[in-house]
Amino acid sequence: MQTASETELAEAGSPPQTLDTRLAPGARAHLVGIGGVSMSTLGEVLRASGVRVTGSDEKQSETTQRLSELGIPVTIGHIAQSVHGAELIIRTAAVKDDNEEIIEARRLGIPVFERADAWGHIMKAYNHAVCVSGTHGKTTTTSMLTQILMAAEMDPTVMIGGTLASLGSGYRVGGGDVIVLESCEYADSFLRFHPTLAVVLNIDSDHLDYFGTLDNVKSSFAGFAALVPSGGAIVCNADDANTMEALAPLAASSAVSGREMLTFGFSPGSDVRGEAERPLGRGTAFDIVYDERVYCHVRLGVPGRHNVMNALAASAAAIFLGLPGEVIEAGLESFTGVGRRFEFKGVINGADIYDDYSHHPTELRALFDTALALPYKRVVAAFQPHTYSRTSRHLKAFAEQLRRADTTYLAPIYAARETNTYGVSSENLASEIPGAAVCRTLEEMTDCLEREARPGDLIITVGAGELDRVGAELAKRGAAR
């Protein structure tokens, strides 16, 4: 399959251009939408490899400020002149063909590549390319595996969709022969990757604005797993019915394809199995059984069954890479969490403040399972729905989970890449949740939560948009007292 840029150049009578021929030290790459997690990380990695990087984004943020301080010029707003002098353009999946910079690049004959193309190009230089996919849990699992690989002194290169405390960022440029990337399914982005080890954590109904149906989501994940070559492996969740159904044809043909399939979970038939799960402070201790023997004893410092599953997935990947049990134990014990994944922010009025990235009903269920199991008197939830399409499709399921909190506040829907063609609002969601209140601004939300907070409460700000700013401000106010 040709990329968009290759097709355009072929139609113009020019030979197809690829990143292999374009992305070299000294070349200038302009990144459209550089403020996103994956794009900003990509910009830093390319700059470290000698590429001259510039970028643009719709609005200024801490990320764009950091990039500027690192010597990466960032233009705020999308204007045609920004691409002048660039030898290639890399865009995020949210940037469409009607973007002014993309239009200008095509007018000038500058090749346009997708973000996933660039990551795919980078990973081809490594003997082991571990791509962690799944509707939920990608960031945490990628981070856990990173901790294991660093404990093994494998010096990995890493791209994570969040901030890992031990790195102080979401990326790491190493000198070893392994790269680990969080791999997103949206717009089939991960189909441009070149995994030697594909991890599939779970498959759920999400990004239906692009996929349309769950069957299409399953098909995309199956196509991703099929990219693994002979000698590689697919690590997949034996406890997730959608995953096992989607990958069943690949499992049946594994002997012919020459790639291994390694399952993980608590199901009796799992290749890498969790057993003897027991509480350990705020976390969990459990055993990992592989080849019908206890491979290691894990002490995990973060709470929740979902995190145990993430740890099993990371361990299965590590086992395929040949790492011993003691290294897995050390790596997972050193894992303290990821930014915006049940992240403790501070205290106000005697209430503990946490922040979490959950933005799908399945993620909310895992979050509230975790929060309600902790010894707090009340759980106060502040939720910002993420995208109109997701809110519209999952309104009842969101409400079912948010009703589990003792008190719920809602922010307006975070539009992200969408316009509200669905006619949905946070008021629609609030009408399904007894006692829920909608705050029109983040400032109003912060004030409401401050008035609500009392000793023994767990206050949790939830969503993939901007609500983390509320938790940060509450913590700041609390610390100032």
Which pLDDT belongs to residue 16?
53
Which residue(s) pair with 197 in the sheet?
130, 233
- Do 414 and 387 touch, CB atoms closer than 8 A? yes
- Whole-number percent of the chain with pLDDT over 70: 96
Q: Provide the sign of the torsion angle of the four alpha carbons 343, 348, 352, 353, taken in this order.
A: negative
Report CA Rg, the chain. Answer: 22
What mean pLDDT, rounded, does the chain reach?
94
| CA dihedral for 425, 403, 372, 285, sign (positive or negative) | negative
Q: Helix, strand or coil for residue 259?
A: coil
pLDDT band, very low/low/confident/very high, at 319 (cuts 50, 70, 90): very high
Structural domains of the chain, ranges and CATH numbers in brackets: 4-114 (3.40.50.720), 126-333 (3.40.1190.10), 343-479 (3.90.190.20)
> Rounded to the nearest 10 degrees, what angle do helices 468-479 and 442-452 cross at?
50
Tell me if 348 sits within 8 A of 375, measured CB to CB: no
Confidence of residue 95 (pLDDT cuts 50, 70, 90): very high
Q: Over the stretch 64-94, which tens digit does the pLDDT of each residue have?
A: 999 999 999 999 999 999 999 999 999 998 8
The pLDDT value recorded for residue 1 is: 32
- In this predicted structure, the answer to whether residue 394 has a pLDDT above a threshold of 90 is yes
Query: What does the pLDDT average to over 352-375?
Result: 96
Distance, in Å, from the CA atom of 342 to the CA atom of 361, rounded to the nearest integer, reads 16
Q: How confident is the model at residue 7 (pLDDT cuts 50, 70, 90)?
A: very low
Measured in whole angstroms, the distance separating CA 152 from the mean position of its chain's CA atoms is 24
pLDDT at 231 > cutoff 80: yes
* Residue 406, both tokens: 């003792």
**Is the pLDDT confidence value at 15 over 60?**
no
CA distance linking residue 273 with residue 309, whole number of Å: 10
Residue 17: the pLDDT is 67
Res 322 pLDDT > 60: yes
Give the side-chain half-sphere CA count within 13 A for 424: 21
pLDDT tens by residue, 112-131: 999 999 999 999 989 999 99
Structure tokens, 364: 């909310």
C-alpha dihedral sign at 415, 202, 242, 115: positive
Q: Check pLDDT > 80 for residue 432.
A: yes
Sequence-distant (6+) residues with CB within 8 A of 196 are: 127, 128, 129, 130, 228, 229, 231, 232, 233
The pLDDT-based confidence of 12 (bands split at 50, 70, 90) is very low
The single-letter DSSP state of residue 83 is G
Max CA-CA distance within the chain?
70
DSSP conformation letters of 19-55 = HHHH--TT-EEEEETTTSHHHHHHHHHHHHTT-EEEE
How far apart are the two ends of the chain, measured CA to CA in Å? 60
The pLDDT tens digits for 279-306 are 999 899 999 999 999 999 999 999 999 9
Of the pLDDT bands very low, low, confident and very high (cuts 50, 70, 90), residue 379 is very high
pLDDT (tens digit per residue) in 185-212: 998 999 999 999 999 999 999 999 999 9
Q: How far is CA 173 from CA 19, 50, 265, in A?
A: 19, 13, 31
Residue 414 DSSP code? B
Distance, in Å, from the CA atom of 45 to the CA atom of 34, rounded to the nearest integer, reads 12
Q: Identity (one letter) of the amino acid at 274? A: G
Instruction: Give me the percent of the chain exceeding a pLDDT of 90.
Output: 86
Query: Comparing 34-43, 318-327, 369-378, which segment has the lowest mean pLDDT?
Result: 34-43
Burial class (CB in 10 A: 0-12, 13-18, 19+), 457: buried
Q: Is the pLDDT of residue 4 over 60?
A: no
CA 250: distance to chain centroid? 25
